[in-house]
Amino acid sequence: MSNFSTATSIAHNVASGARSAASVVEEHLQRIGQREEEVHAFNLVTSAEARKRAADIDARIARGENVGPLAGVPIALKDNMCTRGVPTTCSSKILEGWKPPYNATVVDKLFAAGAVFVGKTNLDEFAMGSSTENSAFGPTRNPLDTSRVPGGSSGGSAAAVAAGFAAVSLGSDTGGSIRQPAALCGVVGVKPTYGLVSRYGLVAFASSLDQIGPFSHSVADAALLTEVIAGHDPMDSTSIPKPAPSLVSVLGRGVEGMRIGRVADLPEGADADVLARLDAAFVALEKAGATIVDVKLPSLSYALTAYYLIAPAEASSNLARYDGVRYGNRVAANDMNNMYADTRAAGFGDEVKRRIMLGTYALSAGYYDAYYGKALKVRRLISNDFAAAYANADVILTPTSPTVAFPFGAKTDDPLTMYLCDIFTIPTNLAGHPAMSVPFGTGQANMPVGVQILAPTLGEEAMFKVAAVLESAA
């Protein structure tokens, strides 16, 4: 764990009057001033807004008001979450300059909890990528070694926390976009159960897979932030109609008697240093009183293929609205079809175009059954496999990423190599389950390694209990 202040301690100190929200914000803005040019975690730093909000919080505390569980906590938002009047770009030229007229539900919840919003973070364009190299505004650098990627697609949000620019941040995870950069940057990253956190105002990549979740320095911060952003939202039809779970309270309970699944048929591809840390995690949990059980997930090896049909198929439809007609950039042309084509050709980067084409093809008449339809069947198989595995295990442990953070350009020539970064994170999204990455020591080049904890639907409680034990053993 880093030596930056946690959200939990900031909120405590600000609420009790031991520190002012203003001083907390200045401390973080100062670090941004020192290192942001090098790291490029942000598409936009909202200093003035942050100072104003911090002053407001201090005034309210002075009046004796309860400003909420995130009192004065500086937070960064991935730039694919709508913020009223503040540009939301998805790191794409096609949305450059667009200002949403409304807030995402999570943004309203954070404000209501007293958080101070410091900026919009960089991402792979429309959250498509695993290194943040696909941003139209240039890559984000890993604060632990700026010759390396921070992971992606929420690389900016991971880097912002790792660099101390914000105490916590939000990312979105469609196939690993929170957990993988969390692992590569040495922070905690959580993808909650699909439907636990409202997607209203999250710019869609693949609607059936997307889920918002936190980055933090500590497991407790992640639990706190998840509690704040979770809960039913009538604006999102896929939102689970239940109140937010209580997670912070379970953290000290340990793993005594819990069954931790080890995947006997884990797909190959993880580096030895990563696997060594996974083994160490099993040892730590066993020592803490858990039982290690072998589980089989035979359809896991098909997950990546299924994902790269389902996610692009949905993306091809979700991204069709960027047509230059109503908002965003438009390239003028002599007729409608050329205007569409020229606008989209100029506005989207290569990876986005690749996925739109993949998805369009997968859904096309004559190909639907062989591609998209087959992928949906695989998706069901994966869910069935998980259901069988969770009959014997409370949670499952895998690596988060097959490797530690890699140098820039290492995987940009071959999209398939890049796609393999998400081999261990993708199955969770297909199943709609929760999963999180917890830093657990270091591997090659002294870069951090994350261990991934997978749990069944709404199994956040068990997942966080395990995470807390790993955190203290790391």
Partner 1 sequence: MIDNGLPEGWELVVGLEVHVELATKTKLFSGSPNRFGDEPNTNIDPVTLGLPGALPVLNQHAVELAMRIGLALNCTVKPSTFHRKNYFYPDLSKAYQITQYDEPLNVDGFLMLPGGVRIGVERAHMEEDTGKSTHFGGAGGRIHGSDYSLIDFNRAGVPLVEIVSHPDVRTAEQARQYVNELRAILVAVGASDAKMEEGSMRCDANVSVRKYGAELGTRCEIKNVNSVRSLGKAIEYEARRQIDVLETGGTIRQETRHWDETDGRTHTLRAKVDANDYRYFLEPDLVMLAPDAEWVERVRAALPVLPAARRTNLAVLTGVDEDSEAIAVVVERGQDTYIEEVKNSGGDAGRALVWVQQSFAEEGNAPRLPAKDLAALTVLERDGKLTATQAKTVLGDMLEAGGGDPAAIAASKGFEALDTSVIEGFVDEGIAAQPDAWAKYCAGEEKAMGALVGTIMKLSKGKADGKVVTAILQQRRGS
What positions carry a catalytic annotation? 78, 153, 177
Kindly report the number of other CB atoms within 10 A of residue 37's CB atom: 8
CB under 8 A, 24+ apart: contacts of 366-375: 371/309, 372/309, 372/310, 372/313, 374/306, 374/309, 375/305, 375/306, 375/307, 375/309, 375/310, 375/313
Binding flag, residue 360, partner 1 (CB under 8 A) = yes
Q: How far is the CB of 240 from partner 1 (least distance, A)?
A: 11
Q: Which is nearer to partner 1, 234 or 252 (CB)?
A: 234
Q: How far is the CB of 104 from partner 1 (least distance, A)?
A: 6
Binding flag, residue 347, partner 1 (CB under 8 A) = no
Q: Which is nearer to partner 1, 243 or 366 (CB)?
A: 366
Strand partners, 116: 74
User: Residue 418 and residue 274: Cα distance in Å, rounded?
Assistant: 17
Q: How far is the CB of 227 from partner 1 (least distance, A)?
A: 22
Strand partners, 395: 260
Q: How far is the CB of 314 from partner 1 (least distance, A)?
A: 6
Among 184, 185, 202, 393, binds partner 1 (CB under 8 A): 202
Backbone CA torsion sign across 157, 162, 166, 167 = positive
Stretch that binds partner 1, among 6-14, 109-117, 325-333, 349-357 (CB under 8 A): 325-333
Q: Which of residues 236-275 bind partner 1 (CB under 8 A)?
A: 236-238
- H, E, C per residue of 5-35: CCHHHHHHHHHHCCCCHHHHHHHHHHHHHHH
Q: How far is the CB of 204 from partner 1 (least distance, A)?
A: 7
Binding flag, residue 365, partner 1 (CB under 8 A) = yes
Binding flag, residue 88, partner 1 (CB under 8 A) = yes
Among 67, 104, 281, 382, binds partner 1 (CB under 8 A): 104
Among 47, 208, 412, 444, binds partner 1 (CB under 8 A): 208
Q: How far is the CB of 378 from partner 1 (least distance, A)?
A: 16
Binding flag, residue 234, partner 1 (CB under 8 A) = yes
Asked if residue 47 has a cis previous peptide bond (ω within 30° of 0), the answer is: no
Q: How far is the CB of 173 from partner 1 (least distance, A)?
A: 16
Q: How far is the CB of 324 from partner 1 (least distance, A)?
A: 9
Stretch that binds partner 1, among 50-58, 101-109, 185-193, 223-231 (CB under 8 A): 101-109
Answer for the pair 258, 466: CB distance below 8 angstroms, yes or no.
Answer: yes
Stretch that binds partner 1, among 156-164, 177-185, 365-373, 392-400 (CB under 8 A): 365-373
Q: Which is nearer to partner 1, 18 or 365 (CB)?
A: 365
Q: Which is nearer to partner 1, 282 or 368 (CB)?
A: 368
Answer for the pair 190, 27: CB distance below 8 angstroms, yes or no.
Answer: no
Stretch that binds partner 1, among 81-89, 182-190, 214-222, 264-272 (CB under 8 A): 81-89
Q: Find where tokens 């939000």 sit.
A: 170
Among 157, 226, 316, 437, binds partner 1 (CB under 8 A): 316
Q: Side chain identity at 86, as an amino acid letter?
A: V
Kindly report the number of other CB atoms within 10 A of residue 272's CB atom: 9
71 alpha-carbon distance from chain centroid: 23
Task: Give the contacts of 431 (CB within 8 A, at least 6 positions apart).
Answer: 379, 382, 383, 386, 457
Q: Which is nearer to partner 1, 187 or 309 (CB)?
A: 309
DSSP string computed for 77-94: EETTB-BTTB---TT-GG
Q: Find where tokens 């909420």 sit.
A: 68
Nearest Cα residue to 394 out of 276, 253, 262, 231: 262
Q: Which is nearer to partner 1, 63 or 326 (CB)?
A: 326
Binding flag, residue 363, partner 1 (CB under 8 A) = yes
Binding flag, residue 197, partner 1 (CB under 8 A) = no
Q: Kindly state the DSSP code that residue 165 receives in the 8-state scheme.
A: S
Q: Find where tokens 């270091």 sit.
A: 442
Binding flag, residue 165, partner 1 (CB under 8 A) = no
Among 340, 371, 424, 464, binds partner 1 (CB under 8 A): 340
User: Residue 294 and residue 350: Cα distance in Å, rounded?
Assistant: 41
Q: Which is nearer to partner 1, 317 or 472 (CB)?
A: 317
Binding flag, residue 466, partner 1 (CB under 8 A) = no
User: Residue 52 and residue 471: Cα distance in Å, rounded?
Assistant: 35
User: Residue 103 and residue 86: Cα distance in Å, rounded?
Assistant: 9
Q: How far is the CB of 200 from partner 1 (least distance, A)?
A: 5
Positions in the binding site for partner 1 (CB under 8 A):
81-82, 88, 90, 95, 98, 100-102, 104, 199-204, 206-208, 234-238, 313-314, 316-317, 320-321, 323, 325-327, 335-336, 340, 360, 363-365, 368, 372
